[in-house]
Structure 1
Amino acid sequence: MNMDVTVPPTDALDMRRECLAERRQALSRQLDQTELQWWCEAQEQLARSPDADTAARLSSQCKRHLRERGMPDSGWSTLELARALLLAHVLEHHGPGAQLPLLHQLFRWGDDHEKIALLKALDWLDSHGRCLELALQAGRTSNSQVFAALALDTPYPSRHYPERAFHQLVLKALGMGLDAARLNGLAQRHSGTLNQLALDLLEEQLAAERTVSAGLPRVIAFSLLGPAQRQRLEDLNRQHRLPPEWRARLAGTPSN
């Protein structure tokens, strides 16, 4: 298989190793004896042959050897976590120049379930934002579950996305009907620009007589509304076109 990537070979991943060690322990505690035996053998195979083919083969075998069930208080399933930890394991066996190309390769090879595991683990695998290009590419998906793995319950976008890319991610999450409350770091990214984008979306949905996205008010910093923006919302309120949550938030913030 051709590893035709354009990622700079000198960029190294800085993995959150303590976090990964904790997740390995948590997964082992959830596995029964038969599952744990296969899991240990899989890691031994990967240590002997730490290449993309072995990682991909073992990842595809997870569903056959592990029962899928939720991990306590984590938002992960056993299968997702096992796939993510196999990925981390193979990356740990490669030098800095090989890690990013390998990660890109495994993302391209992966099915949707494997992509979800990788994207959910991205903050553990890359604390310095070296995988920004991969994340932006992944964010173009039309699969809401794959997109949710990138956008929700993870600090990666808020930590590493430039402003415009983060705004696009927020708007796409709203367009897909995802829960804006699960967008990590949203409050720290509030701005006048994001306010305007959210208001434009509100206008668009009202004009098309579509249901207003439930999470849209969370995207707006009502205290940062400009005079024209606030006036438009007050006009919509007087026309009884503003949803109830918007009215309550608008009334709770003073005019600038």
Structure 2
Amino acid sequence: MAPRFVGKQPLSFTAEHLREAHSIRPGFNPQVWTADQAARTLLLLHAPHQSPSEYIAKLDRLFSTADLGELVALYAALPLLPYPELHVQRAAEGVRTTMTSVFDAIALRNPYPHDYLPEEAWNQLVLKAVFNARPLHQIYGLDQRRNASLAQMLLDYAHERWAAGRTLTPEVWRLMGPYLTADHRPDLQRLLLSNNALENQAAFLALSESNNPIAKELLSQFLTGEQASQPAFFTWQSIGESAYTS
């Protein structure tokens, strides 16, 4: 009944509001929340219960009967709810959903996956975001949870896309920098020689984050001494925003 009482209009936040949200719960970002979503979250936070198991049982009943809007509110609220360690399985189920708005609620602007999902579920979330063309730069804690297994899976996916004559978001290279090896030379040369400026930028940033000698060698080949000494005017954030809106 929340929409009947408070409506579904988007909430308006100032930069100060968002900073306060982050200070209360690191990573909490209600930037795209609606009034009914906020009302439902308040109800969840005030649901009476005597034990963790009773609270989880109430949540399970809500999830089992929820419509689309309610599911979005439930998943987006996970980082705020009590007993966060007990919601891991529920969050993993959200990652597997076929509904884009529900997936976005758990995957984007939501600190819960970063803080609680095991590596396998985290990697599945990132891979699904890539498959479904969701903005990786809106995944909280993306850099902190980079791992070798995810980097290899994304590289395999990139090869599949290229073999089929297709492209993929340059944001994937954000997850590969620390794991680059000499074997990646052809892939990086392809990006550096690309006519796509965002792919060039992604290659430069990935190489700059690598400690592998091949990285310095490739950078020196494609950058003049003057260029190499200049600070980059692009970031992973700017690359992601441009890639997602283009």
TM-score, normalised via structure 1 length = 0.68
1:227 paired residue among 172, 176, 182 = 182
1:95 has 2:35 as partner: no
1:162-181 residue pairs with structure 2 within 5 A? Answer: 162-181=118-137
One of 154, 161, 164 as aligned partner of 1:198:
154
Counterpart of 1:53 in structure 2 is none
Consecutive unaligned residues in structure 1, runs of 5 or more: 1-60
Alpha-carbon RMSD: 2.2
Alignment-derived partner of residue 6 in structure 1:
none
- How far apart, CA to CA, are the structure 2 residues paired with 1:122 and 1:238? 40
Larger Rg belongs to: 1
In structure 2, runs of 5+ residues without a counterpart are 14-29, 214-246
The offset of 1:251, in angstroms, is 4.9
Q: 1:71 aligns with which of 11, 17, 28?
A: 11
Deviation at residue 241 of structure 1 after TM alignment: 8.2
Give 1:83's aligned residue: 40
Describe the shift of the 1:247–1:97 C-alpha distance in structure 2 as closer, same or farther (beyond 3 A): closer
- Structure-1 separation of matches of 2:167 and 2:174: 16
Percent of aligned pairs sharing the same letter: 28
Whether contact under 8 Å (1:68, 1:77) holds in the other structure is yes
**Where does residue 186 of structure 1 map in the other structure?**
142
Gap change, CA 1:225 and 1:118, over 3 Å in 2: same
Where does residue 106 of structure 2 map in the other structure?
150
Distance in 1 (alpha carbons) for counterparts of 2:153 and 2:202: 16
Structure 1 residues 176 and 94, CA, compared in 2 at 3 Å: closer, same or farther?
farther
Local SS of the residue matching 2:61? helix
Q: Could you tell me whether the CA contact under 8 Å between 2:41 and 2:74 is conserved in 1?
A: yes
Instruction: Tell which deviates more after alignment, 211-220 or 233-242.
Output: 233-242
Given residue 115 of structure 2, which amino acid in structure 1 is its aligned partner? Answer: R
Counterparts in 2 of 1:215 and 1:94: CA distance versus 1, 3 Å: farther
Aligned equivalent of 2:169: 213
Q: Distance in 2 between matches of 1:144 and 1:214?
A: 21
For 2:111 and 2:170, how far apart are their aligned partners in 1? 22
Task: Point out 4+ residue stretches in structure 1 off by more than 2 angstroms.
Answer: 67-74, 92-97, 217-220, 234-256
Q: CA deviation at 1:108?
A: 1.0
